[in-house]
DNA sequence: ACAGTCGCGTGTACGACGTACGCTGTTTTC
DNA sequence: GAAAACAGCGTACGTCGTACACGCGACTGT
């Protein structure tokens, strides 16, 4: 027998999101920091030294406050990551009055650009439970709005955004993982990275189990590979959506 | 002969991947563990209690060895994550002799299934520098092989895989983030999750800044939403690829 | 004007983490 | 048999997130 139907000690945890608490009325002393400052400082650290370097202690030191002071602004480190995600998400600016296709394309390119400019973003997305921050929600709204009036039901509209979004995140994540690995291991140039992987690649090819992959490594023009692949994939996605929905 | 005739003191750090070290010849005592056992135990812990619960101490305890004994098998925790990724990647089995489209579709569905069955996988991918483990490489080879003989150059072939892979990872990541958040906060049913988000959603809608999004929340049939969206997106991607490459 | 109370900033402390290092004992190779 | 290589282990260090209690400053209601 499991007496689980009255145990609300753990059940209805109504977590209030940080966004709802952002500008609370002032009673007591004036806060010395703003959420914006905190997010910005966190982004700076992450950009310079990677996401692992963003600790509450380091962040507090950079802001000139005690470590625990930060917890007056964020309820946990996850909250901090949400702030940081939202901060860099603000860098995305979409053209007004564009059709859904141009809008989606612009969103895709810019989300990728943000992800590459802030390589920690991918890892942050994977860690944070509630990644729908206001600045991202606003862009969702923009794209949904551009799809309105095309005789689509709302599920289809959301599916369009979801598909583009999924592709961009996956593609960017793939690119970023490699760069971050390079940074962590102290490599600086693309050339150095290729050199570091060389023994492993050689070993793989020597196994003779991956002939087609081997051909790609030998014949492939690894010139601007990632950028080209992204644009190729994106256009495929947009074409596929347009055709399937007749828009 | 000189056992060490390397001249390049400044060369990049030649990290030897764990895969190249897997079955080294035995000198000294017999190992009591295998890499397979370790990976399996790690996967068990992660499945049961989440990726954060996979610590070297806990893993060692489950395996009945001292913590530091594990470092005879993996050189770091990242290595361990690679082993775990490879272990669950083995769950993907593709049909033999299928066309590229069926093969890609099967790969997509199974990779998603693995990601949902092991919700920590997404986070692991984001943490690990070299996520191309043998079992994944083998599937890449399968798909590339199915594209051979269609008059594509190798770059295009790789782009096909890359596009499908990116979409699947992005889509799965999105689904998983929500489930993991629910698990972390102790929620069990989908209903409970919806209830927990209700105040935030209401607050968002009350801002009156996201009318189309609001319509989606109200009108959307959130029934089997994720599964449907995934299949919709996947077919768009496959269609787009097929049309663009004429295959 | 004054008391109450709310909340900001802080210091300390706890339990967990990854892992460097050195030791002991076993197995293989010369 | 001696030497070398290597498995397993215990200890220790530095770091992390954050719970908690304290003191002080600023607003609110009287």
Per residue in A185-196, pLDDT tens?
777 777 777 777
Interface predicted TM-score (ipTM) of this complex, two decimals: 0.92
Asked if residue A135 and residue A99 are part of one domain, the reply reads yes
Domain assignment present for B104? yes
Asked if residue B62 and residue B130 are part of one domain, the reply reads no
Asked if residue A98 and residue A45 are part of one domain, the reply reads no
Asked if residue A114 and residue A208 are part of one domain, the reply reads yes
Residues 190-209 of A with CB under 8 A from B: 192, 195-196, 199-200, 203-204, 209
Taking Cα atoms as reference points, which of A145, A162, A234 lies closest to residue B227?
A: A162
Q: Which of B72, B88, B104 finishes a domain?
A: B88
Residues 6+ apart with CB under 8 A from B33: B63, B65, B69, B73
In this prediction, residue A9 has a pLDDT band, given cuts at 50, 70 and 90, of: very low
Residue B13 phi, psi (nearest 5): -60, 115
Domain assignment present for A7? no
Asked if residue A147 and residue A104 are part of one domain, the reply reads yes
Asked if residue B157 and residue B35 are part of one domain, the reply reads no
Q: Which of B73, B88, B103 finishes a domain?
A: B88
Candidates B167, B204, B214, partner chain A, best to mutate (most A CBs within 10 A) = B167
Asked if residue B167 and residue B110 are part of one domain, the reply reads yes
From A117-121, A127-131, A154-158, B8-12, the region with the lowest mean pLDDT:
B8-12
Domain assignment present for A8? no
Is A136 an interface residue toward B (CB < 8 Å)? no
Asked if residue B180 and residue B127 are part of one domain, the reply reads yes
Asked if residue A237 and residue A144 are part of one domain, the reply reads yes
Per residue in B29-78, pLDDT tens?
889 999 999 999 999 999 999 999 999 999 999 999 999 999 999 999 99
Q: Which of B54, B88, B122 finishes a domain?
A: B88
Q: How many CA atoms, within 13 angstroms, populate the side-chain half-sphere of residue B74?
A: 21
Identify the sign of the CA torsion A235, A238, A240, A246. negative
Asked if residue A106 and residue A74 are part of one domain, the reply reads no
CA distance B132 to B62: 27
How many folded domains does chain A comprise?
2
Per residue in A23-34, pLDDT tens?
666 677 888 999
CA distance A113 to A118: 8
| Residue B136: CB atoms within 10 Å | 17
Is A82 within 8 Å of A134 (Cβ atoms)?
no
Helix and strand element counts for chain A (H, E): 10, 0
A68 beta carbon to strand C: under 7 Å:
yes
Asked if residue B223 and residue B143 are part of one domain, the reply reads yes
Query: Residue B170 is part of which domain span?
Result: 95-245
In this prediction, residue B23 has a pLDDT band, given cuts at 50, 70 and 90, of: low
Asked if residue B227 and residue B137 are part of one domain, the reply reads yes
- The CATH number assigned to the domain holding A53 equals 1.10.10.60
- The CATH number assigned to the domain holding A144 equals 1.10.357.10
CA distance A230 to B165: 12
């Amino acid at each position: 027998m499991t007496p689980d139907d009255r145990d609300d000690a753990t059940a209805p945890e109504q977590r209030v999101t940080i966004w709802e608490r952002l500008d609370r009325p002032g009673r007591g002393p004036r806060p010395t920091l703003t959420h914006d400052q905190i997010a910005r400082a966190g982004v700076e650290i992450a950009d310079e030294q990677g996401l692992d370097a963003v600790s509450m202690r380091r962040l507090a030191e950079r802001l000139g406050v005690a470590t625990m002071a930060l917890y007056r602004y964020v309820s946990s480190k996850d909250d901090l990551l949400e702030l940081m995600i939202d901060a860099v998400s603000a860098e995305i600016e979409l053209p007004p009055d564009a059709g859904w296709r141009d809008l989606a394309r612009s969103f895709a390119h810019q989300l990728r650009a943000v992800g590459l400019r802030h390589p920690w973003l991918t890892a942050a997305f994977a860690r944070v439970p509630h990644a729908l921050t206001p600045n991202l929600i606003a862009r969702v709204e923009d794209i949904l709005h551009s799809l309105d009036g095309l005789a689509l039901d709302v599920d289809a509209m959301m599916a369009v955004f979801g598909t583009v979004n999924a592709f961009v995140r996956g593609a960017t994540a793939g690119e970023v993982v490699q760069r971050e690995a390079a940074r962590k291991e102290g490599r600086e140039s693309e050339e150095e990275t290729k050199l570091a992987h060389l023994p492993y690649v050689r070993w793989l090819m020597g196994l003779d189990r991956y002939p087609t992959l081997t051909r790609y490594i030998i014949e492939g023009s690894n010139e601007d590979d990632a950028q080209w692949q992204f644009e190729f994939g994106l256009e495929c996605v947009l074409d596929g959506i347009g055709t399937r929905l007749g828009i």
